[in-house]
Structure 1
Amino acid sequence: MSITPEWQSYEHKVSSFLSELGFETRVKETIDGARGRHDIDVSARMRVIGIDILWVIECKAWNRAIPKERILTLQSIVNDVGADRGFVFSEKGFQSGAIRATENTNLTLTSLEDFRLEFKDEIRATKARILDERIATLVQAFSAIWDLAREERDAAFSRYSGPPGFDFLEGKPSAVIGVTSHLSHMRASLENARFNRWPVAFFPLDLVDGEVFDVSDWEGLQFVAENTIITCQRIYDHMMTPGESPVDWKTLQPPELTSLLSAIRDK
């Protein structure tokens, strides 16, 4: 009867836990970097609104604290493969030099138990950052339409396929302001959620009688934020594609979000 080595068992424990959190994990993956190939104990991937997240994890089932040299090695690997985060798991702790080496870096030193207690904040912070960056990029893209040459700008506005603007505004350019305003509201809600100011407000793109919905948890907020961002990205892409004709904007909204809003309104 074969006995699984402790180090191998530890890697699979870490991998299984990350899988339970929604990551796609691999044990002993070889990843190509800019300067070479690297053997990774555990890799963890997640996709948020089209953006790939990669975490690189070292698992040290050692009987002593991890030294600084191992941390510096992982930092070079994280940089070379372009990972978002690097983690070192150890149940025996870390030497003081190793801890200092991670200050102001994207490396985290932890144990399985500590990570179990803190993982929600880690993952939520990563997702919230990506959503916020995507919203900021979209708002800038919509704003940049006004910087186009008049003929190109007018053509883009003529292809606008999105919800109407604010009631006191008229015309398609003003309707675009309505889209960016909703995105700004979403950004504010993400910020409030980051500081646990629940519930947070969700303003649907197709406001009905000034309605606003309360969202009380991260899972719900992530769902409506992702699908609203996808919708606004599709509206922008439609505007910027020559030859396109205006369409019913709700065909650009993911059906999952449309169904959710319909169910809420039918209550």
Structure 2
Amino acid sequence: MKFTDRCPATWKELQDYVALFLNQSGYRAVSPCTIDTVRGKVEVDVLVESPDELVKRIVCECKFWNSSVPKEKVHAFRTVVQDSGASLGLLISQAGFQSGAIEAANLSNVRLMTWNEFTDIIADKWTLTRLKQLKKESVPLSEYTSSLHFPFDNLKDEDVGRYLKACDKYRPLRTTCWEITRKDLKENDSLTDFWYKGSEFTTIESYLNFLSDQVTAGLKEFGEILANSNIIIPPERLEKSYGYIYMSL
């Protein structure tokens, strides 16, 4: 399954999508952003703060041009990256780069890439980060749908039927969120019905976003049932499950 089907149609979409994917991959990206350099203030398309110990700051420049980027633009961008103290510069071009631009970036801390190359590079980290979030978000569903753990006898009569319907609806979702891995997502051209409504999706991004939305809806539904029946699930019951959520990544 491919990572995404997003294709920027404007310069703003290009830099917004770059910032979005970086933020969702665990970085802190701001677009646009005015930064200080040794030559004064400069506005960059995307400024990225990285949790990595070695690469702390990344500057991104996005070119939504009809023609390939020339070497002069690479030289100018290299200066901004160097003068800002950034560890890495990403120059992302919709139309590619001239041969001189590629030579100008060689042996520097500037990387040149097309939109497709950027999504290929970010796909694995994005998928890993989103899977971790999804598995953590779905922890309460394990308690709510468990016949062994849920205090079924404490439900009000009016909530019993609603609760059972919610369990039937969200148990397959809970199973998918806990068991699906990056390998499952990447190696299947299309996800089968073994995964919760997986056959309806063609990209990893759209499917994981859908699962996250479904988890939110499920937690809301169970939350309303719990509140109506005055049931409180002790937080420590959920905390015991957190240690197992990353076993399948």
With the shorter chain as reference, the TM-score category is: 0.3 to 0.5
The two structures have a TM-score, normalised by structure 1, of 0.44
* Structure of higher RCO (CA pairs closer than 8 Å, 6+ residues apart): 2
Give the TM-score of the pair, scaled to structure 2.
0.46
